[in-house]
Amino acid sequence: MTTSLTLPSACDFHLHVRQGEMMQMVTPKIVEGGVSVAYIMPNTVPPIKNTEQALEYKSQLEALAPQVTFYMTLYLSPELTVEEIRKAAAAGVAGVKSYPRGVTTNSDSGIESYEIYYPIFQAMEEVGMVLNLHGEIPSDPTNDICVMNAEERFLPQLEKIHKAFPKLKIVLEHATTKAAVDTVKRCGDTVGCSITVHHLQLIVDDWAGQPHHFCKPVAKYPHDRDALRDVVSSGHPRFFLGTDSAPHPCHTKETSKANAGVFTTPMVLPYLAKIFEEFGALDKLENFACHFGRQFYGLGPREGFVDQGVTLVKEDNVIVPEKYPVSATNESAGVVVPFLTGKNVGWKITKNFF
């Protein structure tokens, strides 16, 4: 039995750290999870739509977590121009994130059309920026589209964009279905796929009436979770960690209409060790969490960064904190309840990378 693991620091290729008090609480916790690379989502308020905003946000985050290398993204919207893409790439912005709602502006009968963005994609392909896709189409009961099949129904769009831009790097974010895994595998080497911590653990039953497990895309059938576990266990190099960790105050979760998101940031590697151990793939954890994402993105280490490695040790009673106060001084900001709150994860970081 493996009782200790030493690996490089992890790379989280899909992360929400918010703004204001929440950002101040969450950002320093990135390193606590054994993570040194954070690929930051642009869905702030307002969204990050240009290079200046991205760089300003990045400098805020760097001030809060100097040990972390941050990669920034822009929010795909009709305002984005080819010129802005070139400018962003030159400034080191790594990707452009597409959300369902951002593309429904020009949708036809509920089917999304990305074609208005083809000039943008062309420019991204040229400058080597990555397209990050939230792969769901909006629910539409008249076409039998709901949260359970929204991802599967999106997949033809992924294949279409990939066919039109075979050299454009595309990441299908937070895959939750066997259909998504199969589609990404079928695509060429420029298509990757991020997988969250929680989707390796949860099925639909777990979020039925349980708001802290409710996220988008929702966790699906057991056979879907098995497909995620299987592709990770196979060591497929285009499937890598992107936690989609998304903190929400508890009072916006335990309510009549919960916000979507699961908070995993402070314990990313302990969670992964627990889950990978349970499905018998501890030996695949390092590539999944530390190497494959970086390889796909083609990212080297930050200049001057020395990774001292992370050591995880198997222990009894490694209890996940029940909650994290958003603010040390402002109680009304509430608390964030982490994934597997109050549960024993059985693995602890005894030496961190910095």
Catalytic residues, which ones? 14, 16, 97, 134, 174, 244
Taking CB under 8 A as the criterion, the residue among 1, 83, 109, 141 binding a second copy is 141
Binding of a second copy by 109 (CB under 8 A): no
Residues 223-262 interacting with a second copy (rule: CB under 8 A): 223, 225, 254-260
Note the Cα 44 to chain centre separation in Å.
15
The set of residues, in sequence order, having a beta carbon less than 8 Å from that of 134 and lying 6+ positions away, is 97, 98, 99, 100, 173, 174
Binding of a second copy by 156 (CB under 8 A): no
In angstroms, what is the minimal distance from the CB of 215 to a second copy? 9
Taking CB under 8 A as the criterion, the residue among 42, 100, 102, 211 binding a second copy is 211
Closer to a second copy at the Cβ: 213 or 284? Answer: 213
The DSSP code for 73 is: E
Closer to a second copy at the Cβ: 60 or 139? Answer: 139
Q: How far apart are CA 245 and CA 330, in angstroms?
A: 23
Binding of a second copy by 111 (CB under 8 A): no
Residues 317-346 interacting with a second copy (rule: CB under 8 A): 337, 341
In angstroms, what is the minimal distance from the CB of 279 to a second copy? 11
Helix (H) or strand (E) holding 13: strand 10-15
The set of residues, in sequence order, having a beta carbon less than 8 Å from that of 115 and lying 6+ positions away, is none
Taking CB under 8 A as the criterion, the residue among 55, 111, 127, 204 binding a second copy is 204
> Which among 49-57, 124-132, 142-150, 162-170 is the span making contact with a second copy, rule CB under 8 A?
142-150
The set of residues, in sequence order, having a beta carbon less than 8 Å from that of 276 and lying 6+ positions away, is 200, 232, 282, 284, 285, 288
In angstroms, what is the minimal distance from the CB of 35 to a second copy? 26
In angstroms, what is the minimal distance from the CB of 343 to a second copy? 12
Q: What are the structure tokens assigned to 265, written together? A: 């940031």
Mapped onto helix, strand or coil, the DSSP state of residue 6 is strand
Preceding omega of 266 cis (within 30 degrees of 0) = no
> Which among 23-31, 117-125, 144-152, 296-304 is the span making contact with a second copy, rule CB under 8 A?
144-152
In angstroms, what is the minimal distance from the CB of 200 to a second copy? 13
Binding of a second copy by 60 (CB under 8 A): no
Residues 282-321 interacting with a second copy (rule: CB under 8 A): none
Applying CB under 8 A, the site for a second copy has a residue count of 34
Closer to a second copy at the Cβ: 90 or 208? Answer: 208
Taking CB under 8 A as the criterion, the residue among 39, 207, 239, 339 binding a second copy is 207
Asked whether the beta carbons of 336 and 249 are under 8 A apart, the reply is yes
Closer to a second copy at the Cβ: 208 or 328? Answer: 208
Which DSSP string do the residues of 294-350 spell out, in sequence order?
A: HHHHT--PPTT-----EEEEE-S--BPPS-EES-SS-GGG-EEPPTTTT-B--EEEE
Which DSSP string do the residues of 283-309 spell out, in sequence order?
A: GGHHIIIIIHHHHHHT--PPTT-----
Asked whether the beta carbons of 10 and 290 are under 8 A apart, the reply is yes
Closer to a second copy at the Cβ: 21 or 226? Answer: 226
Q: Which residues of the chain form contacts with a second copy (CB under 8 A)?
A: 139, 141-149, 203-205, 207-212, 214, 218, 221-223, 225, 254-260, 337, 341
